Amino acid sequence: MNYLVAEKVSKVFSHGFFRGKTFSVLNDLSFEVALGEGLWVRGKNGSGKTTLLRTLASLSLPTKGKVFLAGINLALQPNLAQQHIAYVPAEQLGFFGRLSNRDNLKLFCTLNEEEFQPEENHTSMMIAALGLGSFLDTPFEKSSSGIRKKCLLLSALLKKPKVLLIDEIFSNIDAESREQMNHLLEAQVTKNPMALVWVAHESRQPFHFPCKELHL
């Protein structure tokens, strides 16, 4: 069953300098992603990749078209996006620089009405898989780019989403960090089935579960 469905989605913005002028970023996009499946979004800078992820996450409504989650139109029930979709932005937003990574993760879990339990089996497995154990008490602002991105990915997975949206978190990190994140995503998408939509400029997709490609 296709869990995430986009049906003729378009996004049009007003031009900031010329009153009445508009420009289109997304044009009649349609695709389907099942649980346990991935969609690799590719395209040049400015082609609308981030806009698409924000639209799927219901952070921005489509100008035309519809996004369905398990057959339900998200425009009619936007609370479903908050419950079942996790979005990892490229800008590393959402964490407080002066707080430790542990406290940031605690705060994130509290906002999602969960409790951060690093000793719990599933959570401790993800922390170990990402190599984060010795960095939990490091302030976020003093963590490397790779550690920050791992923490953001972990916070999204702790939500136990049915749809995971990832924007460019694989850029500007070392090969080991990229491999750690890829292996964890491989396990999570297949063992705790979710639909993965990710933006990356890689030359090839790294996963073994079924993946589609969308070129913008």
What element of type H or E holds 87?
strand 85-88
Question: Residues 29-33: what's their mean pLDDT?
Answer: 97
pLDDT in tens, 163-188: 999 998 888 889 999 999 999 999 99
Rounded CA separation 76/72 (Å): 8
Q: Which of 17-21, 64-68, 152-156 has the lowest mean pLDDT?
A: 17-21
- What pLDDT is recorded for position 80? 87
Indicate whether 16 pLDDT > 70.
Answer: no
Nearest to 4 by CA among 189, 213, 196, 205: 196
pLDDT in tens, 194-211: 999 999 887 788 898 999
- What pLDDT is recorded for position 171? 84
The ranges assigned to domains in the chain are: 2-215
- What pLDDT is recorded for position 180? 96
For residue 120, CA distances in Å to 23, 83, 158, 187, 194 come to 49, 22, 11, 17, 21
Amino acid at 170: F
User: What is the model's pTM?
Assistant: 0.92
Q: Which two tokens stand for residue 195?
A: 């639909």
What element of type H or E holds 23?
strand 22-34
Domain spanning 2-215, CATH architecture: 3-Layer(aba) Sandwich (3.40)
Rounded CA separation 55/53 (Å): 5
Percent of the chain at pLDDT > 70 equals 97
Sign of torsion, CA 55 61 64 65?
Answer: positive
> Strand 195-199's sheet: what is its strand order?
85-88, 163-167, 195-199, 38-42, 211-215
- What pLDDT is recorded for position 185? 96
pLDDT in tens, 75-112: 999 888 889 999 999 877 789 999 999 999 999 999 88
More confident residue, 18 or 157: 157
